[in-house]
Structures are given as C-alpha cells and as structure tokens.
Amino acid sequence: MSMTHEDVGSSRLFVGNTGDATAWTRYADLLRDEDAEYDDALKAYARAQALDPDADYRLKIGKTLVLKGMTDEGLSLMRQSLQDRPRSHGYCVLADACLTAGRVDDAFAAASKAIELRPGWAEAHFMLGEALSERPSESCVDSYRKAIELDGECQQAWASLGRELVASSDTVREGVECLKRALELNEHDGWSRAYYANALRILGEAQRADENYRRAIQTLNGLPDAYHWYAGFLREQGRTGEAEEMERKASTDSLTD
C-alpha cells in the first residue's frame, strides 16, 4: 500500500488506503511518537478503531491523551482496557504512561502487576526499575539486572543500568561496560552515548569522551543537555571558546524547539 502526506499548517493529514486499519494504526503511531502530533494521532486511531471495531485501541489512545496532557482521561481509558483484559504488556504501557505523567506510585503499581502476570518477562522488570529510579530512597539496579538476566539483549535495561552505575565512582567502570553493551545493541541511543561520554570523562579518557559527546549531540539532534555536558567537558580541557560556542548552541536550539 502506498501512502502520501500533505502538510496542513503544523499537522500532516494521512492520504492513502482508508480501508486498512493496520495502516492507520501505524500512521497514528508515527504521528504520536515521531511527530508529537497528538490530535492527528487521535483522529487516526479513531479511524483505525472504526475500521476494526473488534480491536482494542484504548491503550494507544490513552497513552496519546497522556502525552497531550489529558492525564486523568488517558490513564482512566488505559485502566478500563486492562480491567477488561489484564495483560503484562498493557501494564508496562500503563507504567510508562504513568511515568510520563509523573505518577511514580501508579507506575510502580502497574509494573508490579505486569511482573505478577508474567514473572519471567524482562520488560516488566525493566519498567519496575524505571519506576524505582524515580524513588530516591530505593534502588532500581536489581530490577535492571533481573531484566538482563531474563533477556541479555534487553537494550533499555543495559542502558538504564549503565546510567545508574556510572553515577558512582565505585561502579563507574562496570557502568561503562553496560553502556558499551547498550550501544552495541543500538548505536543510535543518544542518551546512552551521552552517559558513556560522561563516564569516559570521569575516567580521564578525554579523546574518547570528546568523540562520544559529539556523536551524542548529533544523535540527540542538538538537545540542550548534550551541549551543556559537552561544554562542561570542554571547560575542563581549557577549551573555553569552544565551550561558550556549545552553550550558545544550547540556547539557540532550545529557543527553536
């Protein structure tokens, strides 16, 4: 099936095979996750639902509503879906949406339910780790380790474990190895690249840190945090002019986002 897009203001309207629910779903996912066009995504999900009335789009629609800022309505819709048909994957999606909304306790409860339903699933343990990472008094490390034990290719768990471990001087070298593994599994993970650069900076490997900061900035499309971290590194290296240029870019990019 072929698809075309027509720009209308800041939105993109889908033009294609209007009878294909799967195509509309994929297009809605693209609008939501890549373009942050939440209103158009909701319309596309509604179209898919109309074309396939037996399917349950409440998780996808609910997550989109949360991203749009309609938190209570979105979470309620997701919970209705899970009440009708409890499933581990759905509770992981709910946990992620709760974290997006800053509902840490709700995220913890959803991830715990996901584990209850499917104890041997890596993603459920990863999501529990993500919830625990927002609780300063608790450790998320064991949850990430469990996810990796269950699935050695769980890239997100390697990335998050590395992020946590490089924050401590006692575990920074182990964290570096975790981040290296995360990047082997997904070389386009900009956040892992940035944390890896930070760790190399701590270890005094300036040349490799410099290279990875630059790659992180490119992968993260100039996200201000990446510029700021690189600027701090450049100042430590006595490269003041370059550091100031990075700070200027961070300010410029944040204004144009």
**Would you give per-residue pLDDT tens digits along the chain (257 residues)?**
334 343 333 334 444 556 889 999 999 999 999 999 999 999 999 999 999 999 999 999 999 999 999 999 999 999 999 999 999 999 999 999 999 999 999 999 999 999 999 999 999 999 999 999 999 878 999 999 999 999 999 999 999 999 999 999 999 999 999 999 999 999 999 999 999 999 999 999 999 999 999 999 999 988 899 999 999 999 999 999 999 999 999 988 654 44
Q: Measuring CA to CA, how many Å separate 218 from each of 10, 45, 95?
A: 24, 32, 30
Give the bridge partners for 14, in sequence order: 5
For residue 19, the model assigns a pLDDT of 82
Complete domains list, the chain, with CATH: 148-257 (1.25.40.10)
Q: Cα(217)–Cα(210) distance, rounded to whole angstroms?
A: 11
SS3 13: strand
Q: How many CB atoms lie within 10 A of CB 242?
A: 15
Contacts of the segment 148-157: beta carbons below 8 A, 24+ positions apart: 148/122, 150/120, 150/121, 150/122, 150/125, 151/122, 153/185, 154/122, 154/123, 154/126, 155/182, 155/185, 155/186, 155/189, 156/126, 156/182, 157/122, 157/125, 157/126, 157/129
> Hey, what are 68's tokens?
């749009």
Q: What pLDDT was estimated at residue 11?
A: 37
Local structure of residue 16 (DSSP, 8 states): S
| Dihedrals phi, psi of 135, to nearest 5 degrees | -110, 100
Burial of 141 (0-12, 13-18, 19+ CB in 10 A): middle
